[in-house]
Amino acid sequence: MRTSHGYIAVKVPQDHHLRQAHGYAYQHDLVAEQMLGRDLQSGEVVHHKNGDSKDNRPENLQVMTNSEHTRLHAFRQPRTSRGFAPGRQGDIADALWARKAVPW
């Protein structure tokens, strides 16, 4: 199954520790746990190095803390002089960015 955010989800048993409310677990989490040989700890997330949420090969996955992951993505987000990032303000801002008609 593919989620609305593009992640691959796999049906898991009802008592599985990674099971979400819909009965599935994210494949990248399962692969990461297999790589580590242990369960993911609270506060750990799995990052897709190449940005492709469907690419769950072990060499494309990196386990990091949630704060490291947040910093990584914040650093990669382009910013304007007013601190706005394209693609983060909704359809109107996206359209303005696409036309290079941003007012700031």
User: For the whole model, what pTM was predicted?
Assistant: 0.70
Residue 1 lies in a domain: no
Taking the C-alpha atoms of residue 20 and residue 89, their distance in angstroms, rounded to an integer, is 28
Containing structural domain, residue 93: 9-98
Give the number of domains in the chain. Answer: 1
41-91 pLDDT tens trace:
999 999 999 999 999 999 999 999 999 998 888 866 555 544 445 544 444
10-49 pLDDT tens trace:
999 999 999 999 999 999 999 999 999 999 999 999 999 9
Instruction: Quote the DSSP letter at residue 77.
Output: S
Residue 4 lies in a domain: no
- With beta carbons less than 8 A apart as the criterion, state whether 93 and 99 touch: no
